[in-house]
Structure 1
Amino acid sequence: MLDSIINAFTKGDLAGLNSKLLHSAYWSQHNATLYGSEKLNTVLSHWLSFAGKCTVVDHHTIEQGNHCIIHLTFEPINNKVTINYVFWLETNHLMIKSVKAIVDTVQLATASQHERKQVSASLPASDPLMISDYDQQDHLQNDIAWPSMLVGKHIEKAEILDAWWALWGQNQLSNIDKIYSENAIINLSGHKTHLNRDLLFEYVLSKTSKLTRTFAQLEDIAIDGQHVAIKWFLDGDEGSHKIRLPFISILKIESNHITNETTLCDVLAFNKSFPLSTLFE
């Protein structure tokens, strides 16, 4: 599956990718869900039209159960600007049943030398935001999920994952210096270079301070050795408007500290879905 993804997004091998997709498979990206091979083909066509022919300069794969998370770092052959792309696959171990993908569209615009508004205009219309999605945060029926509830408190990484989650879920900014190594490499959507702990502090604060109410929701976690993949949402109210921002985070944990993190969200798709938002200004 790794090879089929790489060959499709570097060489345009559409047939190879389609051969790995179940007939009922769907692909979720840019806040839109696509069904059927013809519509799925538009994902690859859109990517190639902006990124062109690429090489993969780095890749990581995390596998747990029927989940396979692939993090690829692309570099267009005509530009040395890298683009982060994460694919969260649900499989039956032979075929792909669904894909949740996030590409750093700001990096894509920079690497392709297109204006952000051009890339934004080319993105599909987002799925409608269902008010029922917010029922849990407005009318809690159960305890709020923490990573340790999904992976088990006995898991070695449970404590540090809960501390990482408190950073986003409870705005516990002081946890940054506790759980990240001093020289941690942190990659966040919209940034061309790695960030350090101080800049991560500013990044989180710049998001949570603009929301009158925040609610971080876990969707799934996969652990494979030192690496952890987390699929989650940041929901909230920005003034009188409800917003939802999907993330996928890839963490590397060594000696009980986070030494490497890539946290991706689709900035341009978010801005298109929520044009009144100032979250990324």
Structure 2
Amino acid sequence: MINAIIDLYTKADIKTISSKLLRSSRWQQHHFTAMGSLQAQPLWLDFLAQYGVSELISKTHSKGQELETLQLILQPKKLLKPVRLSFVIKHNNTFIKSVKCVVDTLLLANNEFTGEASNNTLVIPKLPKSDPIMVCDLDNQLHPTTFHATPSDICELPTQTAETLNNWWQIWQLNNLTNFESVYAKNADVILAGSNETQSKDALLNCHLALSQTLSRCYAQLETVQFDSALNQATICWTLDGTFNTKNVRVRQQILTVITITNTLISSEVMQFDTLALNQQFAL
């Protein structure tokens, strides 16, 4: 499964990955859900046509009980700088049941084409029409009495790992910003959407504060949690609902976070989301 996804981008091998998808298989990308290979193929073809076949710069692969995570850094032939794609995959070793693919479209938009003949130095991804969605408002009366799931509620985790991830989740669900000091190692490495550069945990705090200024009445909610005990690495798919202040519209940002834990502290974190797909979905 992993090699089939890699070969899709590095060899333009659409046949192999198509054979792994049933008609009921879901491939989610750019906030759009494709059912089966016939609907997914336009996504793959658009990427290959716009950016070309890629060279694999690096890959990271982790496995949980039901899900696997694949992180790729690719160098497309038509672009000057590498791009990052992250996948959360569910399969039965024969067929793919679902794939959640997060493309760093902000990184793409800040990229440049290699060809001098191109007048456009900014790479604007060709995006499909997003899935229709209605995001409910935050109920101030029900919210304090509602059960709010934590990572350990939906994934079996070692005790110390559960404590670390639950404390991490409080940063986003409860705005407990002091946990940045207690949960992260001092020299923790952070990679955020829009950049391949490693940053400090201060960049993550600044990201949180920037989102708090852009979105009001926020609510963070878990989707899936996967844990690889061999790598001591967790992948969390989650959403952040909020009112986009300048448009006064409720939006939902889909986020994929990969966390590596060393000696009970977060030593590295990759936080990915599809900025341009969000802008298109909610006309921002």
Give the TM-score of the pair, scaled to structure 2: 0.88
* Equivalent residue runs for 1:97-136 within 5 Å: 97-113=97-113, 118-119=124-125, 122-131=126-135
Larger mean CA deviation between 262-271 and 208-217 belongs to 208-217
* Equivalent residue runs for 1:44-193 within 5 Å: 44-77=44-77, 79=79, 81-113=81-113, 118-119=124-125, 122-131=126-135, 139=142, 142-152=146-156, 155-193=159-197
Flag structure 2 segments of 5+ consecutive residues without an equivalent. Answer: 114-119
1:7 Cα offset (Å): 0.3
| Residue identity opposite 2:124 in structure 1 | Q
| Residue identity opposite 1:220 in structure 2 | T
* Equivalent residue runs for 1:30-49 within 5 Å: 30-49=30-49
Q: Contact 1:171–1:208 (CA<8 Å) still a contact in 2?
A: no
| 1:79–1:138 distance in 2 versus 1, CA, 3 Å | farther
Give the Cα–Cα distance (whole angstroms) in 1 for the partners of residues 50 and 40 of structure 2: 17
* Equivalent residue runs for 1:192-207 within 5 Å: 192-207=196-211
1:138 Cα offset (Å): 7.8
Give the Cα–Cα distance (whole angstroms) in 2 for the partners of residues 9 and 164 of structure 1: 33
- Find 1:271's aligned residue among 268, 276, 279: 279
Larger mean CA deviation between 260-269 and 163-172 belongs to 163-172
Q: Contact 1:106–1:116 (CA<8 Å) still a contact in 2?
A: no
1:269 Cα offset (Å): 0.7
| 1:154–1:81 distance in 2 versus 1, CA, 3 Å | same
Compute the RMSD of aligned alpha carbons.
2.3
Give the Cα–Cα distance (whole angstroms) in 2 for the partners of residues 146 and 77 of structure 1: 42
Q: Contact 1:249–1:261 (CA<8 Å) still a contact in 2?
A: yes
| 1:20–1:152 distance in 2 versus 1, CA, 3 Å | closer
| 1:33–1:209 distance in 2 versus 1, CA, 3 Å | same
Who is 1:237 aligned against?
A: 243
Q: Contact 2:51–2:78 (CA<8 Å) still a contact in 1?
A: no
SS of equivalent residue, structure 1 residue 144 = coil
Give the Cα–Cα distance (whole angstroms) in 2 for the partners of residues 177 and 195 of structure 1: 16
1:112 Cα offset (Å): 4.8
Flag structure 1 segments of 5+ consecutive residues without an equivalent. Answer: 277-281
**Total equivalences in the alignment:** 273
| Residue identity opposite 1:253 in structure 2 | I
| 1:93–1:154 distance in 2 versus 1, CA, 3 Å | same
* Equivalent residue runs for 1:209-224 within 5 Å: 209-224=213-228
| Residue identity opposite 1:274 in structure 2 | F
1:214 Cα offset (Å): 0.7
SS of equivalent residue, structure 2 residue 175 = coil
Identity of aligned residues (%): 30
1:151 Cα offset (Å): 2.8
SS of equivalent residue, structure 1 residue 156 = helix
1:19 aligns with 2:26: no
Give the TM-score of the pair, scaled to structure 1: 0.89
Which digits, 9 at most, give the CA deviation of each residue in 1:143-165, with x for residues without a partner? 10011222357533011101111
SS of equivalent residue, structure 1 residue 125 = coil
Which digits, 9 at most, give the CA deviation of each residue in 1:71-117, with x for residues without a partner? 11112246552211111112123210111110101222334535657
| 1:152–1:212 distance in 2 versus 1, CA, 3 Å | same
1:57 Cα offset (Å): 1.7
| 1:148–1:275 distance in 2 versus 1, CA, 3 Å | same
Larger mean CA deviation between 149-158 and 58-67 belongs to 149-158
- Find 1:258's aligned residue among 259, 266, 273: 266
Give the Cα–Cα distance (whole angstroms) in 1 for the partners of residues 151 and 213 of structure 2: 24
| Residue identity opposite 1:23 in structure 2 | R
SS of equivalent residue, structure 1 residue 157 = helix
| 1:139–1:32 distance in 2 versus 1, CA, 3 Å | farther
SS of equivalent residue, structure 2 residue 203 = helix
Q: Contact 1:27–1:35 (CA<8 Å) still a contact in 2?
A: yes
| 1:242–1:108 distance in 2 versus 1, CA, 3 Å | same
